[in-house]
A and B are shown apart, each in its own frame.
Chain A
Amino acid sequence: MQEQTAVLDSSGRFPVEPRSSKGLFSLFQRAPTFDHGIHPLEHKELTADKPIRRLPFAPELIIPLSQHKGKPAIPLVKVGQEVVRGEPIAQADGFVSVPMHAPATGVIRKIGLGPTAEGPKAPAIFLKVYLAAGQQVLYDQEQDPEQMEPEAIIAAVQAAGLVGLGGGAFPSHVKMIPPAGKAIETLVVNGCECEPYLTCDHRIMLEQTESLIRGIRIAMRATGAKRAIIGVEDNKLDAVAHLRARLPQHLPITAEAVQTKYPQGAEKMLIRSLLGLEVPAGHLTSDIGVAVFNVGTLAQMGDLLPKSRGLIERVITVSGLPVERPGNFMVPIGTPVRFLLEQVGVKPNAGGVILGGPMMGMTVASLDVPITKSVSGVVVLEAEDENAARKQVYPCIKCGECLNACPISLNPSMLGELAQARDYVTMSADYHLDQCFECGCCAYVCPSNIPLTQYFRISKAINRKRKQ
């Protein structure tokens, strides 16, 4: 590794000097970035200028009890019980778990198995929405996070049911506590939104700026971070300028542009780009004094905590070439995908529906699957999409494209051959399989159309099973 900057100057602001200005090459200096990665077509123009809108309530919402990493929530309500929008309907089961709140006023119709994006049915609360249900939330209580102790903020974040809204779904309050003996120095605010099509974080930065800044201040107070850096890909320079104009001058919060390159929004990549640091293998970001939060998570935090409310809705992008009226929408948690697509209209050439972005999201097996807390978008693919990975698979020709694409410098070519040979142990022991976070770059570039990412997903699952 070259330089390890990341030391801030006395004012607490991120150094203005670019991370690596090297003589003549500084002429060609672009925004900082990480090694490798890919440049898929973005298609963000479909929705980037569409303001966040609300839609009518779906007739029935399906709220899975496990929308986060950790233990599922425990229901607090009974079938037939009436609930008010914002009221808690399930409580956290232990520390690594979060509660659920009623996204709309209505009556509990059923508590039982419901559809999930992953496939197998899972316990969920079915909420029949009253026709006259309003958008306003009555269920709240004022509090001032700026005056609260870190422990109290962390408890309030858990009570709000907040998880990583960027797709991680990891309970936010857990990330606020560094491991024993470590301290969080830097709060990295992830506004990269590197997945094609998605623009919800872009809109949040433009439209929910006050909530976002409030959320950053709350998170800094809770984690003890001495500075915060908002990392935004340089295809959203309007958001960078917008934020810079509104960030309080007296606080060590800055907005920095990073290169537009997938997967810039992966936290390990963004830390590398902004700070020049790497998260050691097998460690958490907090081990190097960094906590990463998505802009959507922090905007919700800034919105919910002062009123002690729970997370009941989120911004998502509904897009894709077959969508008639793509846009960014504030959607109640539990809204079925079918209802959403009926609202935006879908052309007959639609083929598949992805929850999340097209690089890492998963296709749903049923349109009854609900939007959960970590779903950042619904992207509709064209049937038999020209661009989809449905082409003839050739043997690996060792072109090395995957090695040049892998953001963590794995050797996907070798890993793919080992997976075909079912040598999963060597993959993990000698070729760092466990470092792979399934970003999809290798499969994206592979001219032989080898489903490398899927191989690695399966290989990791088999290794996990063997360890048990």
Chain B
Amino acid sequence: MFKDIEIRTSPHLKRAMSVDRIMRTVVLALLPIAAFAVWQFGLSVLLLLLTTTGVAVATEWFFARQSGRGNTVADWSAVISGLLLGLTLPPGFPLWMAAVAAFVAIALGKALFGGLGYNVMNPALVGRAFVQAAFPVAITTWTPAFAPGRFAELIPSTLTLPFMQPIPVADWVAGLHMDGWTGATPLALQKFQHIETPLGDTLTGLIAGSAGETSALLILICGLWLAWQRMLDWRIPASVMAGAVLVATPFWLLDPVLYPSPWFVLCSGGLMLAAWFMASDMVASPVTARGVIVYGLFIGALTVIIRLFGGLPEGVMYAILLGNAIGPLISSWTQPRVYGSK
């Protein structure tokens, strides 16, 4: 009747869901955003995304091998980190700097802690924070969207030689004869000149900015799809956005010229991408139901505070890294009430 009787322990049923499937689905959800970025900024962004993803995967492979954890590339988590990192960088970011960022993201942000599941902070943001400090000029050099010939030529700074200063792009941009190009992102325009970009532009993403952060609407759709697939905890992006709106609205009501509108806060900069795809990183966010809401509100509120009162136009990266850092503390404060206990 039986060749071998298998002995197993209960439960004998298992939901058809696994880490590699979750990670693959997140990659899938990021692909439309990546495609939009390439369409918007051209070949440079394609090379940028390939570089960050490739270096992230290679770094993951190397450290997993060195630490005897076997081949962990197959769990697809390094692909997410690489892809997300690339999407947060300026389109013309020198490739060698992007490679450094991807290496730091995985090596310092993930492998050092013991790999997938043990990292305290979002690896992609660790990498980005590193290059933000190391290459302050390159990471704030923006180029216009929909430049003519973007599929035929690269943004000059892309191919900067390693350890060299980035090639200035001002002359190249001037040669494009793009009307109305000021060299600033909507966030900087708002912060320093109090010019608010219309909602339509920040939603559709036909603006300057980091490679994959421009179209709030596209990011929202991809994020909602992922949440609908039950591979993303919708409470995190929802509370990040709620936290941002809660802090931004009073100031805007006080002085709508000086301070940005709540919808501008939501749709500009990296907030949308960060809320849906970075704050929601399962590993680095709290694990309890009430904890994720506290965590999301904290990140949203802190982002706006940094934007309004800090030296930088954007603050979502540091807000998430700080949120990650206090995540375990939030978890321990918000332990669920156990059945039958007070």
Contacts and interface: CB of A to CB of B under 8 A. Distances in A.
Nearest to B232: A399
Interface stretch (A7-15, A55-63, A354-362, A459-467): A354-362
Interface string B1-39: 111111111111111111111100000000000000000
Interface stretch (A97-105, A106-114, A436-444): A436-444
Interface string A14-43: 000000000000000000000100101100
A92 B13 CA distance: 37
Contact of B282 (A38, A365, A398): A398
Most A-side CB within 10 Å, residue of B11, B17, B335: B11
Given A351-B5, A388-B8, A440-B10, 17 more contacts: A280-B340, A281-B341, A338-B1, A366-B5, A388-B12, A388-B14, A392-B18, A394-B18, A394-B75, A395-B118, A397-B19, A411-B336, A432-B341, A444-B11, A447-B15, A448-B117, A453-B10
Interface string B126-157: 00000000000000000000000000000000
Interface stretch (A134-142, A250-258, A402-410): A402-410
Contact of B13 (A280, A338, A358, A447): A358
B76 to A, nearest CB: 11
Contacts of A361: 10, 12
B292 to A, nearest CB: 7
6 residue pairs, one from A and one from B, having the closest CB atoms: A440-B11, A395-B117, A408-B339, A352-B6, A409-B336, A281-B340
Given A367-B2, A398-B283, A360 B338 contact: no
A121 interface: no
14 contacts: A272-B339, A280-B341, A281-B340, A351-B5, A351-B6, A353-B5, A363-B8, A365-B5, A390-B8, A395-B118, A409-B336, A432-B338, A444-B11, A449-B14
Nearest to A364: B5
Contacts of A367: 1-2, 5
Contacts of B337: 409
A388 B8 CA distance: 9
A346 B11 CA distance: 22
A281 B287 CA distance: 24
A41 B331 CA distance: 32
Interface in A37-88: 38, 40-41
Contacts of B21: 447
A443 B11 contact: yes
A207 B32 CA distance: 57
Interface string B204-247: 00000000000000000000000000000100000000000000
Interface of B: 1-22, 75, 114-118, 233, 282-283, 285, 287-289, 292, 331, 335-341
A395 B116 contact: yes
A445 B11 CA distance: 10
Contact of A359 (B8, B12, B17, B285): B12
B179 to A, nearest CB: 48
Interface string A366-398: 110000000000010101011111111011111
A414 interface: yes
B16 A387 contact: yes
Interface of A: 35, 38, 40-41, 196, 268, 272, 278-283, 338, 341-342, 346, 348, 350-354, 358-367, 379, 381, 383, 385-392, 394-400, 403-404, 407-411, 413-414, 432, 435, 438, 440-441, 443-445, 447-449, 451, 453-454, 457
A408 B340 contact: yes
B340 A397 contact: no
Contacts of B19: 394, 397, 447-448
A354 B287 contact: no
Given A395-B118, A396-B117, A397-B117, A352 B9 contact: no
Q: What secondary structure prevails in chain B residues at the interface with A?
A: loop
Most A-side CB within 10 Å, residue of B287, B331, B337: B287
B115 to A, nearest CB: 7
Contacts of B13: 40-41, 196, 358-359, 387-389, 440, 444
Contacts of A447: 15, 17-19, 21-22
Given A394-B19, A445-B15, A383 B10 contact: no
A358 B289 contact: no
A4 B115 CA distance: 46
A400 B289 CA distance: 8
A445 B17 contact: yes
A398 B285 contact: yes
A444 B15 contact: yes
A340 to B, nearest CB: 11
Contacts of A341: 1
B312 to A, nearest CB: 29
Contact of B14 (A196, A348, A387, A438): A387
B8 A404 contact: no
Contact of A278 (B115, B336, B339): B339
Contacts of A385: 12
A414 B287 contact: yes
Nearest to A356: B10
B9 A354 contact: no
Contact of B9 (A366, A409, A432, A451): A451
Contacts of B8: 352, 363, 381, 388-390
A363 B287 contact: no
A363 B6 contact: yes
Nearest to A341: B1
Most A-side CB within 10 Å, residue of B4, B12, B14, B18: B12
A410 B341 CA distance: 11
A379 B12 CA distance: 10
Most A-side CB within 10 Å, residue of B2, B4, B337, B341: B2
B234 to A, nearest CB: 12
